[in-house]
Structure 1
C-alpha cells in the first residue's frame, strides 16, 4: 500500500481504458462502448479539459460515408421517380443512415454503380461494395421499386474529412462523371450530382465525471459510445491529436505581427485546393481507359490520378518507348483532363 502511495505521488499522467463493451440495440446493431480515465490535473483544470475533449469528440465524422449520388432522370432532391415508392429526399435520407467500416483508411473515391429492376425492396446489402469496405447495418432500408420500374444510381463513397458543398464542387462532379467516369454500359442521363450530409458523427453518447485522488489531483472518467463503425479508443486519440494541432499555431505567437484578414480570394483558393486534393485521390479504374493501359499503369504502381501526376521523367520516357499505344492514350486523356481542370 505504501509503494502504491509513492507511485501515485510520482506519476505525472494517467491514461488507461477501464472497460470496453459491445452493446446491441433494438435493431440488433452492435455499438462499441468504452470507459477511459485521464489524469492527473490540477484543481479546476479537469473540467476545462473534459469540456474541450467532449466538444472535439462530437466534431468527429464517419470514416466512410456516401458523399453524393447520381440518379437517372433526377435533377434535384425534390423530384419523384416513376415506380419508386419513396421520394428522392426520403431515398437520400435512407442512404445517409448506412454505416460503413473498414480495417484500412483508403483515401480513394469509390464509385459504386447500382442498376436494379423492380419489383424489389432495396437494402444496404444490395450495394456492390469494394472488398476492403463492409456495411455495419446491411438490413438498412433504402427504397422499394414497383414492377417494371428501374433504378439507375451511382454512389460516391469517400473517406470524408471536409465537406465543401459549393457550386464549384457540384459542377465539377457532374462534368467529371459525365465526361470521364460514366461507363458505356451504364449510361445515366438527365441528372445532377446530389450531395448527402457527411457531417454525421460516429459518436452516439459522451459522458464524463471528475473525481479527485488523495493528493487533490483531478481525474477525468470519460465514457464514449459509438455506432460500431470505429472503436472509442480511436476517436479519443484522434480528438486529442486534433485538439493539440488546433492549438499549436498559437504557441509563442509574436504579438507584433499584424492581423491578417481572411479575404474572399484566399477562401476561394482554399476551396480549390481542397477540391484538387479530392481529385488526386480518384482511382484510375473509374475512368474509361483501356484494359491494356490500366494493367500497364499497375505495373508502374500507378493507381490514382495523383500517382499519374507523380510519374517521373525517366519512367515516362521508358513508358513511351516500351508502351507507345498506351502512352498516346494517356497523353490524350491528360490533355483533356488538364483542360477540364482549368475551368475551375
Structure 2
C-alpha cells in the first residue's frame, strides 16, 4: 500500500428532523485483509471510546423523590426522567455544569426551555419534556456531566441537602456503525480493497468529527505502547507460566451488540455490562429479568449467535 495514495472521502451526509446525523465514508486503497482490520477497529472505538455530555441529575422544586406527583403536570417524575434522556447536548468543555428550567403553565415544555451555560448547546430544542395543564410553575435544575459509555443511577439522591435525583446517563455520541468491504481488480488482476463506513450520531458530534476523534484515539493509544516498549526492559524467566484459555469476547461491551432500547435497558439495570457478564446467565435466568420477556431474550440469543457465534448453554 502506497501511503501517499491512501485517502478517506465523505460520500453521503444527512441530517434528520430529530437532529441526528448520518455520514458514509470511503477509505481506499487497502491491501487484502486490511478492510476488516480497520473497519472493526474503527467501529469498536467509535462505539466505546468517544465521550459526550448529558443530563446526569435533576432537582425539581417541591419534589422529594422519584415517586412524587407534580401538581398540574401531566407526566409523573419517571416519565419526565425518561423524556430528559432524549435531550442531546453539544459541549465545549468537559467540566460539570448546571442549568435550569422555569415555565408557568398552561404550556408544553420542550428542551429549548432549558437555560444552559454558554459552553453548552441543545441539539434538539423541540424535544418534548412535559405538559403543564394548569397555571402552576414547573421549575427544574439540571446537572450536566461529560463521560464515556453508560452510567447507571447508583442512588436516588446525592444528599438530603441537595435533593438531586440521579438519572441513568448515556454519554455515547455515536449510535450505530456499519461497514462493508469491496474488492477492486486492476488490469493485471491485482486485488485491493475499499472500505465503506456508515456512521450515525446523536447530533452532538458530526460523523466526520467522530472519525477524526476515533483515529486520533487509536494513534495516541499505539504511540503510548511504542513509547513504553522502548523504555522497558524485557525480563526473561525460566519459570513456566500456566496459560488459561480466555474467551476473547468477554470484555466486549453490550453496546456493541446494538440491541433494541428495551433489551439494552433491561440488561443494564441487571448490571450486565459486558459479554462476560451476559454469559453468566442461562437462557432461563435471562428471561427472569424484570420486563425482559421472551421477545427480548430471543433478540439477545440471535444477536450473540449471528455476530459473535456464541450460543448460550
Report the TM-score, using the length of structure 2 for normalisation: 0.61
User: Hey, what's the Cα distance between the residues in 2 that align with 1:167 and 1:203?
Assistant: 24
CA contact (8 A) 2:151 2:169 kept: no
Larger Rg: 1
Q: Say whether 1:92 aligns with 2:92.
A: no
1:285 counterpart residue number: none
Post-superposition CA distance 1:219-260 (Å, at most 9, x none): 32212222322111111111122234445555537664999x
CA contact (8 A) 2:97 2:144 kept: yes
**Which one of the candidate residues 197, 205, 210 is aligned to 1:235?**
210
Cα drift, residue 194 of structure 1:
2.0
Cα drift, residue 140 of structure 1:
1.0
The aligned runs of 1:116-155 (5 Å cut-off) are: 116-155=103-142
**Which one of the candidate residues 36, 54, 57 is aligned to 2:43?**
54
Richer in strand (by share)? 2
2:8 counterpart residue number: 16
Residues 12 and 169 (structure 1 numbering): CA distance in 2 closer, same or farther, change over 3 Å? farther
Structure 1: gaps of 5 or more residues: 1-8, 179-190, 260-344
CA contact (8 A) 1:20 1:35 kept: yes
Q: Say whether 1:209 aligns with 2:180.
A: yes
2:55 counterpart residue number: 66
CA contact (8 A) 1:112 1:156 kept: yes
Cα drift, residue 12 of structure 1:
5.5
User: Hey, what's the Cα distance between the residues in 2 that align with 1:36 and 1:140?
Assistant: 29
Richer in helix (by share)? 1
Q: Tell me, what secondary structure is at the counterpart of 2:99?
A: strand
2:100 counterpart residue number: 113
Cα drift, residue 149 of structure 1:
3.0
Cα drift, residue 132 of structure 1:
4.3
1:225 counterpart residue number: 200
User: Hey, what's the Cα distance between the residues in 1 that align with 2:106 and 2:192?
Assistant: 64
2:144 counterpart residue number: 157
CA contact (8 A) 2:105 2:132 kept: yes
The aligned runs of 1:294-305 (5 Å cut-off) are: none
User: Hey, what's the Cα distance between the residues in 1 that align with 2:180 and 2:139?
Assistant: 50
User: Hey, what's the Cα distance between the residues in 2 that align with 1:134 and 1:90?
Assistant: 23
Q: CA RMSD in A?
A: 3.4
1:194 counterpart residue number: 165
CA contact (8 A) 2:6 2:27 kept: yes
Post-superposition CA distance 1:30-70 (Å, at most 9, x none): 44332222344433232122112112212255633212111
User: Hey, what's the Cα distance between the residues in 2 that align with 1:42 and 1:147?
Assistant: 66
CA contact (8 A) 1:18 1:35 kept: yes
Q: Tell me, what secondary structure is at the counterpart of 1:125?
A: helix
CA contact (8 A) 1:62 1:198 kept: no
